[in-house]
Structure 1
């Protein structure tokens, strides 16, 4: 990737692969091998190597762990909250992942636009209602939220997962917006 191309994906400096620490370069190359391209989030965040490592360690702890929430449900949380936070990068990138994980070419657009009218379960709508509250008004989360979630089949660990994903992507959304992170064109057609 040329220097001009790298600089057009962020308002901050973007290092070239050969300038990156070995562990970060190796992770990026593994992603590139698996997906066929390098998602711009990896390149943009490589500007700050320690933060890159911390970001992706927490991302993986939330998004790749076993648990009652499916990987598609985790992506629904990201898409819904990222839409509310007006994060173009995360809606487009995680929308692609959601389409693949849900095996549904329509779901990401539905969840991003208005999850309450999306073709998802009532339980998933309760999950997203809570995720949105954490994302936008966490100071109002109370015992009634926990009772509603539990009455819909979520346990304490699920509730932590929903909150953690919502909160983490609040950070991600804000950094993507501040850095002016540009979504890769490849994301638009994945899972369609």
Structure 2
């Protein structure tokens, strides 16, 4: 139960209702994160733009990698709500239960190329408070794994998005039992 009052669908701004209606029709419910974001229209639409561009569009990084970042960063940040949501999304995007569980057990248990493991380790480092200590050598090491500048930027943008959304979820007690 959230720590603040969250609007129900009927109480949301009509523009937000229009954007959220397909989710509501498809799933039968709107998650607490959607309701929290709907408290402020500008925040809702800014966040939705990130979701659309980073996670839902086909981009340079495969969906599997994007969902692995989502799960790993959410785990690092202790965001149970986001882990639960992204376990389901990962499965909808074709990951098996076993693949999802291996991500949550840690990078070393994953059945992915070593280059992808290095990118995921890089993302975890990028998510931490001391990310200001990362250097050109860190970027060059990921490039040496075959990643382009734009793929690295995308991975870090997704990492930053999950730091943001995990913070909202954790601070406002989303996904907590009442």
Question: Could you state the TM-score of these two structures normalised by the residue count of structure 2?
Answer: 0.90
Equivalent in the alignment of 2:76:
84
What are the within-5 Å matches in structure 2 for residues 93-172 of structure 1? 93-136=85-128, 137-172=130-165
Number of residue pairs matched by the alignment:
176
Shift of 1:83: 0.4
- Paired residues of 1:21 and 1:49 also in contact (CA < 8 A): yes
- Paired residues of 1:40 and 1:181 also in contact (CA < 8 A): yes
- Paired residues of 1:98 and 1:107 also in contact (CA < 8 A): no
Instruction: Select between 35-44 and 141-150 the one with higher mean Cα deviation.
Output: 35-44
- Paired residues of 2:70 and 2:159 also in contact (CA < 8 A): yes
- Give the 3-state SS of the residue equivalent to 2:97 in structure 1: coil
CA distance in structure 2 between the partners assigned to 1:164 and 1:35 by the alignment: 27
Shift of 1:60: 1.6
- Give the 3-state SS of the residue equivalent to 2:93 in structure 1: helix
Gaps of 5+ in 1: 1-7, 185-192
- Paired residues of 2:107 and 2:121 also in contact (CA < 8 A): no
CA distance in structure 1 between the partners assigned to 2:138 and 2:127 by the alignment: 14
Shift of 1:176: 0.3
- Paired residues of 1:85 and 1:170 also in contact (CA < 8 A): yes
CA distance in structure 2 between the partners assigned to 1:180 and 1:167 by the alignment: 20
- Give the 3-state SS of the residue equivalent to 2:106 in structure 1: helix
Gaps of 5+ in 2: none
Equivalent in the alignment of 2:61:
69
Equivalent in the alignment of 2:7:
15
RMSD: 1.8
- Paired residues of 1:68 and 1:158 also in contact (CA < 8 A): yes
Shift of 1:114: 1.2
Question: Could you state the TM-score of these two structures normalised by the residue count of structure 1?
Answer: 0.84
